[in-house]
Each structure stands twice: as structure tokens, then as C-alpha cells.
Amino acid sequence: MAGAGGDKPFAKAGPSPLSRVLRISQLDAFELDGALEQLVWSQFTQCFQHFKPGLLTPVEPELKALLQLLLWRFTIFSNSATVGQSLLNIRYKNSLIPGQKYRPMSRPQKFWFLLLTVGEKWLRERSHSLFLNHPAESNAHKARKVLSILMGLTKVASLVNFLLFLQRGTYPTLTERLLGVQPVFSRPQGPRGINFQFLNRELLWHGFAEFLIFLLPLINMWKLKASIATLFSPLNELRGMEGSEETYCTECAVCGEWPTMPHSVGCNHVFCYYCLKSHTIANICFTCPKCGTETGTIEPVRLHVGTELHQTSD
């Protein structure tokens, strides 16, 4: 009997469907909803990509409101949860009715949710074009001023509400606070297990990345590339590369383009003056990336263009 009576507290200790949702989960749901709206709008506009440009611009706020209305119909109105909340196993409950039992959103709450979300976005986007059509009228000027004041007060209230959300973890948006709806888990949440193998792997890769960030700036990449090039230079000589002299004189060893104001550092390769000067200023130990010759006296190179043209014509 004592054992049976002692089992009751353990049965109630399990997680409840109405347990508090983490702040990060609530914010992730909003990010998923925003990504879904952008995806739906981009897919919708692609259907009109071959039509006249600017065809949807005059009615863009209405079309966005219509798409959001369809999303509201099959998410909030049907399941009391947005798409992002459904992916995270979250849904809204009516917090105006006290009790531990789950209470879905009432119909008035759902319609007010539609008005305060979709209607507010439509009004904010459409107000600019409405006031542009009547810029000189006094009534339009007063209405625009009143609307701007209301939007400013709404932003301030939203900021204060978000600070309260960061402190208490409930009602991340002003709409949820005004309507009295709060996200809860749809199904009981089990204990969160920690995979130490995954954590060890992440720590290992993080330490390896920090080591590379510290090590790579200390490596002279130009000298390393020159050393590798000198290893394969005997192979190039055995192949008997034709026109190597012309290549040296008509190609910058750094950028690979026709050398502008050609200069040399003492080897057979030619550099653009600005390529050579910038690299020698950045690196005092700059070496030729082709043969590895250390930078000596920078001297201009005079190409015998007339002789080359004469030889080519022959």
C-alpha cells in the first residue's frame, strides 16, 4: 500500500503539456514563420516572372495580405498554431481561462490575431501609397501624422513588451499579450539527453579551427609556392618548353597579365610595377613566386618590341 501511495508523486512529476516553452523556441518559431512567408511570396512572384515588369507592384500589399490570410486559415484558425510552432511542437493556448487543462484559442481571439498581424502589415505597406495620392490635403496630412504617431507608440510598446519577455519568458509579441494567448507544448516533452560524443567532436573542431587561424598568418605562402615550383622546374626543363623566354617577358609573375611598367627583381621573370611594389611593401621577405628568387634591386625592364615584331613577321 505504501508503495502504491508512493508512486503517485512520481506519476505527477513527469513533464506536462502545459509546461513553459523556452524563449529560444518561441523566437525560432517566429523566424520559421518569416522564412515561410518569404518562400511563399517568392514562389508566387515566379509565376509572373515572364509578364510585364511591375505588374504586381500596384496590388502587392493586397496579394501579400491574401497569402497571409490563407496561411492563417490553415494554421491559426484550424490548429491554434503557426507553421513554425507546429514544427517545434508548440501551439497557442487561451491563457485568459485559468487552469492546467489546455484551452485552445477562441474564435474572437483568432480573428483579432488576424487583424493585428495581417491587417497591421497591410496598413503599414498601403499607407504610403494612400497618402502619396493626396499630399496637399489637410485631412490626409493629419491622418498621416496620427498614423505615424500610432506606429511610433506601437514600436515603443513592442520594445517594452520584448524586454518583459526577456525577463519573464512569456508573451514575446504585443499581440499575444493583448489577446491573452501563450505558447505551450503540444505533446509532453521528454528529458533532454546530452550527447557527449557530439560535444567532444564540436570542441575538437573548434580548437582545430582556432589553431589554423593562429597558424596560417605565420606561413609565408609565397615562399611555400615558390619552393614547390622549384621542385617541378627540372621537369619543365626536361619537357623542353618552347617560348619560355617570351612567356617570361609578356606575363607578370604575380597577376599573370601583360606587365604594366615591367620591372624585375634579378631573375628572368617580369612583374608589374604596382604588383611588385605592393607585395614588397606588405612582405619584406617577398620572393619570386615562380622561381623563389629573393627580392634584390628592383629594376625596370625594357622590352624590345620592335625586334620581337620583326622576328614574328619573319
Average confidence (pLDDT) over 29-45: 90
Average confidence (pLDDT) over 170-179: 91
Residue pLDDT, tens place only, 265-285: 878 788 888 888 888 887 777
Higher pLDDT, 311 or 288: 288
DSSP 3-state of 309: helix
Q: How confident is the model at residue 205 (pLDDT cuts 50, 70, 90)?
A: confident
Q: Residue-wise over 136-148: b if at least 16 C-beta within 10 A, else e?
A: eeeeeeeebeeee
CA separation (Å) from 200 to 149, 197, 205?
53, 5, 9
Q: How confident is the model at residue 114 (pLDDT cuts 50, 70, 90)?
A: very high
CA separation (Å) from 239 to 156, 231, 267, 290?
75, 14, 21, 17
Average confidence (pLDDT) over 200-205: 82
- 101 is written with which cell numbers? 487543462
Residue pLDDT, tens place only, 219-258: 767 667 766 766 665 555 444 444 445 555 678 888 878 8
Closest residue by Cα to residue 133 from 123, 120, 144: 144
Domains and CATH numbers, the chain: 13-185 (no CATH), 222-313 (3.30.40.10)
Average confidence (pLDDT) over 63-75: 92
Q: Worst-scoring range by mean pLDDT, 14-18, 137-141, 292-296?
A: 14-18
Percent of the chain with pLDDT over 90: 19
CA separation (Å) from 293 to 233, 255, 285?
13, 17, 10
Q: What does 15-72 look like in DSSP terms, one character per residue? A: PPTTPBPPHHHHHHHHHHHHHHHHHHHHHHHHTTTTS-TTSSGGGHHHHHHHHHHHHH
- Residue 157 pLDDT more than 90? yes
Q: Worst-scoring range by mean pLDDT, 41-55, 85-99, 115-129, 279-293?
A: 279-293
Higher pLDDT, 183 or 306: 183
Strands 181-185, 90-94: pairing kind: antiparallel
- Residue 22 pLDDT more than 80? yes
- Residue 10 pLDDT more than 60? no
Q: What is the mean pLDDT of the chain?
A: 77
Higher pLDDT, 53 or 159: 159
